[in-house]
Amino acid sequence: MNEKIKNHVHNILAPYQDVENVQDLEEELSQNLQEKFTDYKKDGHNEEQAYYMTINSIGDITELIQSMNVETKELKQTVPMDFSKTELTKSDFSYADLTDSMFKSSNLTKAIFHHVNLTGVQFKWANFKQASFKDCIYDNTYFKQCNLTDIVFDEETFNGTIFEGTSLKKASFRHATLLNVQFRGSDLKKSDFEGAKMDKLTYNFLKSAKIDLSKVTII
């Protein structure tokens, strides 16, 4: 579990590598979180519960950086990463900036995408069985021939997102906001858009797929 916590801290601090002393902060934060994780375990929580309680205790990374009281350089853009043909089962990408990264033929079974920047990310032939998404940025994200069956996207906001030839069977978009979203040849059988808000382009894509849109709002 120690390596999982260290990897999580490294991912959320990746955009700040040009900040002076950030490596010291990364080491200190990892150590503090490991101690918290151990304390949660002692309190009777299992490993999974203790892990999520630990990472949720981090707080605002920007405030942590500012609290270091150092002169900072302009934050560099996160370098796009290529995760193609990679076994990523149960990987935790929470709070990571994955802008313009590539996932081609990647196994993302039970992967966790919480508070992740997915701007411009390309997912091609990726398997998302039992993956978890929450509070992500989906600006111009591209899903091509992916398995998103049963995935929950409730209350998420999609902008310029493309789902092409992708399985969205029983996927849930309840109360989501969809702007300029395309569903090119995707399987939307029994998908749920109750309470969703969408523009006319998105509405027309879904209407052509004969989706129940009786409880959506056009904006």
**14 and 114 both lie in a single domain:** no
Q: Is residue 128 part of a domain?
A: yes
Q: Which of 43, 66, 89 is the last residue of a domain?
A: 66
Predicted confidence (pLDDT) at residue 188 exceeds the cutoff of 50: yes
Q: How far is residue 103's CA from residue 175's CA, in Å, rounded to a whole number?
A: 27
Q: Within a domain: residue 84?
A: no
User: Taking a C-beta distance cutoff of 8 angstroms, is the pair 75, 18 a contact?
Assistant: yes
- Pair (58, 107) in one structural domain: no
Mean pLDDT of 192-214: 93
Q: Are residues 109 and 207 in the same domain?
A: yes
pLDDT computed for residue 47 by the predictor:
84
**Which comes out higher in pLDDT, residue 33 or 113?**
113
Helix (H, G, I), strand (E, B) or coil at 16: helix
In a domain, 88, yes or no: no
Q: How far is CA 80 from the centre of its chain?
A: 15
Shared domain check, 202 and 110: yes
Domain count, the chain: 2
Do residues 121 and 45 share a domain?
A: no
207 and 136 within one domain:
yes
Residue 29 has φ and ψ, to the nearest 5°, of: -65, -40
92 in a domain, yes or no? no
Domain-located, residue 171? yes
Burial (0-12, 13-18, 19+ Cβ within 10 Å), 46 = exposed
Taken as a whole, the chain contains a residue count of 219
pLDDT beyond 60 at 121? yes
Asked, for residue 72, whether it belongs to a domain, the answer is: no
- 212 and 116 part of one domain: yes
Would you state the pLDDT for residue 20?
Answer: 60
Same-domain pairing of 41 and 107: no
Q: Cβ distance 14 to 78 under 8 Å? A: yes
pLDDT per position as a tens digit, 27-76: 888 888 888 888 888 888 888 888 877 877 765 555 565 555 444 444 44
The CATH number assigned to the domain holding 141 equals 2.160.20
For residue 30 the two structure tokens come to: 């990892």
pLDDT of 17 strictly over 70: no
Q: Is residue 82 part of a domain?
A: no
* Shared domain check, 107 and 38: no
Is the domain of 12 the same as that of 60? yes
Residue 21 — φ and ψ, nearest 5°? 70, 15
- Residue 78 confidence (pLDDT) above 60: no
Range of the domain at 61: 2-66
Whether 116 and 58 map to the same domain: the answer is: no
Q: Return the H-helix or E-strand segment holding 8.
A: helix 2-13
Element (H, E) at 197: strand 197-198
User: How confident is the model over 86-105, as a mean pLDDT?
Assistant: 92
Per DSSP, 57 falls in state: T
Q: What was the pLDDT predicted at 98?
A: 92
CA distance 72 to 74: 7
Within a domain: 132:
yes
Lowest mean per-residue pLDDT among 43-57, 134-148, 168-182, 184-198: 43-57
